[in-house]
């Protein structure tokens, strides 16, 4: 039975401006968003910058500030203090990562105003952004947790079979939620066991492996479920809703979260938990960090290292082998020590969700602040080690 196609009256990739005061700051904001869009910034980046600058414009309008030439560094610092003392409806303050996300677009906005010669100087150039803390994850899904969640969907139903395929792809590939819902049927090659992620974070494409079990569930979904979900024009999106639409917003996250709640695992989160679990379990089993970096789509190893922590078993073995207080009790050989080090126990994840706020963060990799590395230059005249420091292997007195 064909279901009637549901029209989407609220396009997903449409910026919501809301009510803004008709002043110079608002006009500059519209020109700024147009300019950033022309540069190729993603919709998520534009939306984040629009919401952050819009909040500042409303705050400034309440204080009689309507022109960018009236904004000074002390005013921006007052706004930063306002964000620090702001309380959400539940009474909790904004996290430092949220405050950072609110202030970073302001630096980009005033930098653009300066380049356009709309203001004489950039008042946000000396604004110090709050430090983002990297905290330990409260909970990491174990292999048993993941398997129990994967078994929850009723695969005798169409929706259950689709949800099982979604969970398998998330856990097998470690892709982000936004990357999952943008997948096309042509991006998945179940014969080769690969998955193509288009326009991932940093606007980069990458190919990630897809396990055999996940490939089998995707094949079953493509064969038995997806053709029955199509109600109108087939745009090639891999995972569809019951009405034949592509998933929008937090729909996939809500679906995954329902299964996590049903499993009884005491943890908050949804799709990103499977990304954490995928990286952690592979590292526990000996995968190299550089391969995990390529699979997750990180530009540097620093981003990957937030997913890793030395396994507790390794740490205990190294401590027992090297700490002076235990050296007198150790009579094992070097080989035995290495064997003890290789015995892993459960690994805990050192991560900060603020460092990678799921897939709602900027997906084009744009950074509104600049970080410069200090280049190293050798001292003049220093060309190498002195001759007296070079030992001769043939010299018996060396």
The C-alpha torsion from 276 through 277 and 278 to 283, rounded to 10°, is: 90
Mean pLDDT across 257-272: 87
Which residues, 6+ apart, have CB-to-CB distance to 175 below 8 Å?
Answer: 169, 195, 197, 200, 208, 275
Give the predicted TM-score (pTM) of the model.
0.64
| Closest to 188 (Cα-Cα) out of 166, 213, 215 | 215
* Catalytic site includes residue 84: no
Catalytic residue of the set 54, 182, 275, 276: 275
Catalytic residue of the set 164, 201, 276, 281: 201
* Catalytic site includes residue 201: yes
Q: The tokens of 250 are what?
A: 């937090």
d(CA 330, CA 313): 17
Catalytic residue of the set 79, 171, 221, 307: 307
| Closest to 344 (Cα-Cα) out of 309, 292, 301 | 309
Counting Cβ atoms within 10 Å, is residue 313 exposed (0-12), middle (13-18) or buried (19+)? Answer: middle
* Catalytic site includes residue 307: yes
* Catalytic site includes residue 204: no
Q: The tokens of 372 are what?
A: 């410069």
d(CA 151, CA 163): 10
pLDDT in tens, 275-306: 888 888 887 787 777 777 777 776 654 544 54
Residue holding tokens 């706020």?
357
Gap between the terminal Cα atoms of the chain: 88
Radius of gyration of the CA atoms of the chain, in A = 26
* Catalytic site includes residue 54: no
Catalytic residue of the set 176, 177, 181, 182: 176
Under DSSP, is residue 206 helix (H, G, I), strand (E, B) or coil?
Answer: strand
pLDDT in tens, 211-227: 889 999 999 999 999 99
Domains delineated in the chain: 143-283 (1.10.443.10)
Higher pLDDT, 204 or 93: 93
Residues of the chain with pLDDT > 90: what percent?
38
* Catalytic site includes residue 275: yes
Residue 333 pLDDT class (50, 70, 90 cuts)? very low
Mean pLDDT across 357-385: 40
Residue spans of alpha helices (H) in the chain: 24-38, 43-62, 73-85, 96-115, 143-150, 158-173, 177-181, 212-224, 226-229, 251-263, 271-284, 289-296, 301-305, 312-322, 324-327, 334-341
């Amino acid at each position: 039975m064909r279901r009637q196609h549901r029209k989407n009256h609220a396009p997903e990739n449409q910026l919501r401006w809301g009510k803004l005061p008709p002043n110079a700051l608002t006009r500059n904001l519209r020109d700024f968003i147009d300019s950033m869009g022309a540069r190729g910034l993603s919709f998520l980046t534009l939306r984040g910058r629009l919401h952050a600058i819009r909040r500042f414009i409303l705050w400034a309008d309440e204080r009689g500030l309507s022109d960018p030439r009236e904004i000074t560094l002390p005013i921006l610092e007052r706004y930063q203090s306002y964000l620090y003392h702001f309380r959400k409806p539940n009474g909790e303050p904004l996290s430092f990562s949220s405050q950072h996300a609110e202030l970073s677009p302001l630096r980009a906005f005033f930098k653009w105003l300066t380049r356009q010669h709309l203001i004489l100087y950039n008042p946000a150039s000396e604004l110090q952004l709050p430090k983002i803390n990297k905290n330990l994850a409260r909970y990491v899904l174990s292999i048993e947790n993941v398997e129990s969640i994967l078994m929850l969907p009723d695969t005798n139903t169409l929706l259950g079979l689709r949800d099982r395929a979604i969970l398998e792809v998330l856990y097998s590939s470690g892709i982000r939620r936004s990357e999952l819902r943008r997948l096309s049927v042509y991006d998945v090659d179940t014969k080769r066991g690969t998955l193509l992620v288009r326009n991932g974070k940093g606007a980069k494409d990458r190919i990630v492996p897809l396990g055999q079990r996940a490939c089998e569930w995707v094949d079953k979904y493509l064969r038995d479920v997806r053709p029955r979900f199509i109600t109108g024009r087939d745009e090639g999106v891999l995972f569809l809703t019951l009405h034949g639409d592509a998933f929008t917003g937090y729909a996939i996250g809500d679906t995954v979260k329902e299964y996590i709640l049903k499993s009884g695992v005491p943890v908050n989160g949804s799709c990103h938990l499977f990304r954490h679990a995928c990286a952690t379990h592979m590292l526990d089993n000996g995968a190299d960090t550089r391969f995990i970096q390529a699979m997750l789509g990180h530009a540097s190893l620093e981003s990957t290292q937030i997913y890793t922590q030395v396994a507790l078993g390794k740490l205990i073995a190294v401590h027992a082998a090297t700490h002076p207080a235990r050296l007198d009790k150790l009579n094992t050989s070097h080989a035995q020590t290495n064997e003890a080090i290789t015995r892993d126990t459960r690994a805990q994840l050192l991560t900060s969700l603020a460092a990678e706020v799921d897939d709602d963060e900027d997906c084009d990799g744009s950074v509104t602040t600049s970080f410069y590395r200090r280049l190293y230059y050798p001292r003049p005249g220093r060309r190498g080690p002195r001759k007296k420091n070079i030992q001769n292997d043939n010299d018996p007195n060396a």
